[in-house]
Amino acid sequence: MEQADTSKRVFEDLPVAAALRTMVVPTIFSQIIVLIYNMADTFFVGRTNNPYMVAATSLILPVFNITLCLAGLAGVGGGTLISRLLGVHNEDEARRVSAFSFYLSILITAVFSLGTAIFMGPLLNLLGAGANTIDFARQYAFCVIVLGGVPTVLSNVMSNLIRSVGRSRQAGAGIMLGGLLNIALDPLFMFVLMSPGNEVLGAGIATFLSNCVACLYFGAVIFRMGKGSIITFRLKYGMPAGKNIFAIFAVGIPSAVATFLFDLDYVIVDKLMVSYNDFALAAIGIVLKVERLPLNVGLGICQGMLPLVAYTFAAGNRKRMEDTIRLALRVGLVVAAVSIVLYQLFAPQLIRFFIQDELTVSLATQFLRIRVLATPLMFSSFFTVYLFQAFGMGSKSLFLGVVRWLGFNIPMLFILNACVGMMGIVWSQVTADTLTVILSIFFYRRFRPKFPQDTPL
Residue 62's SS3 state is helix
Q: Do 101 and 75 touch, CB atoms closer than 8 A?
A: yes
Query: Can you give the residue ranges of every domain in the chain?
Result: 1-240, 254-457
Q: Which among 144, 295, 255, 250 is positioned nearest to 205, based on CA atoms?
A: 144
At position 361, the amino acid (one-letter code) is: V
Burial per residue of 353-381, b for 16 or more beta-carbon CB atoms within 10 angstroms, e otherwise: ebbeeeebbebbbbbbbbbbbbbbbbbbb
State the maximum Cα–Cα separation within the chain, in Å, rounded to a whole number: 69
Distance in angstroms (rounded) separating the CA atoms of residues 382 and 250: 17
Distance in angstroms (rounded) separating the CA atoms of residues 345 and 334: 17
Residues 6+ apart with CB under 8 A from 164: 78, 79, 80, 82, 83, 86, 231, 307, 310
Distance in angstroms (rounded) separating the CA atoms of residues 317 and 304: 18
Q: Quote the Cα angle for 217-223-225, to 5°.
A: 110
The CA distances from residue 236 to 55, 221, 246, in Å, are 47, 20, 21
The torsion region of residue 129 among left (phi > 0), alpha (psi -120 to 50) and beta comes to: beta
Give CA torsion, residues 343, 349, 354, 357, to 10 deg: 120
Phi, then psi, of 381 in degrees rounded to 5 = -65, -55
Q: Which among 150, 176, 200, 213 is positioned nearest to 46, based on CA atoms?
A: 200
First to last CA, the chain: 37
Q: Which among 348, 203, 354 is positioned nearest to 286, based on CA atoms?
A: 354
Q: Do 383 and 302 touch, CB atoms closer than 8 A?
A: yes
Phi, then psi, of 194 in degrees rounded to 5 = -95, 150
The CA distances from residue 413 to 101, 120, 268, 280, 409, in Å, are 36, 31, 8, 15, 6
Distance in angstroms (rounded) separating the CA atoms of residues 396 and 404: 12
DSSP 11: I
Q: Do 339 and 293 touch, CB atoms closer than 8 A?
A: yes
The torsion region of residue 234 among left (phi > 0), alpha (psi -120 to 50) and beta comes to: beta
Q: Where are the beta strands (DSSP E) in 86-191?
A: none
Distance in angstroms (rounded) separating the CA atoms of residues 82 and 392: 11
Question: Looking at residue 457, what is its pLDDT?
Answer: 35
Count how many Cα atoms sit within 13 Å of the Cα of residue 415 in the half-sphere of its side chain: 12
- Digit-by-digit pLDDT tens for the chain (457 residues) are 455 556 677 888 889 999 999 999 988 888 888 777 777 766 787 677 777 787 777 777 778 878 888 888 888 889 999 999 999 999 999 999 999 999 999 999 999 999 999 999 898 887 777 788 888 889 999 999 999 999 999 999 999 999 999 888 899 899 889 889 988 998 999 999 988 889 889 989 999 999 999 999 999 999 888 777 899 888 888 899 999 999 999 888 888 888 888 878 877 887 788 778 767 777 787 788 788 889 889 989 999 999 999 999 999 999 999 999 999 999 999 999 999 999 999 999 988 876 677 887 888 899 999 999 999 999 999 899 999 999 989 889 889 988 999 999 999 999 999 999 999 999 999 999 999 999 999 999 999 887 655 544 3
Question: Looking at residue 9, what is its pLDDT?
Answer: 78
Count how many Cα atoms sit within 13 Å of the Cα of residue 243 in the half-sphere of its side chain: 3
CB neighbourhood size of 182 (10 A):
25
The CA distances from residue 332 to 305, 336, 382, 440, in Å, are 11, 6, 11, 16
Q: Which among 390, 411, 405 is positioned nearest to 436, based on CA atoms?
A: 405
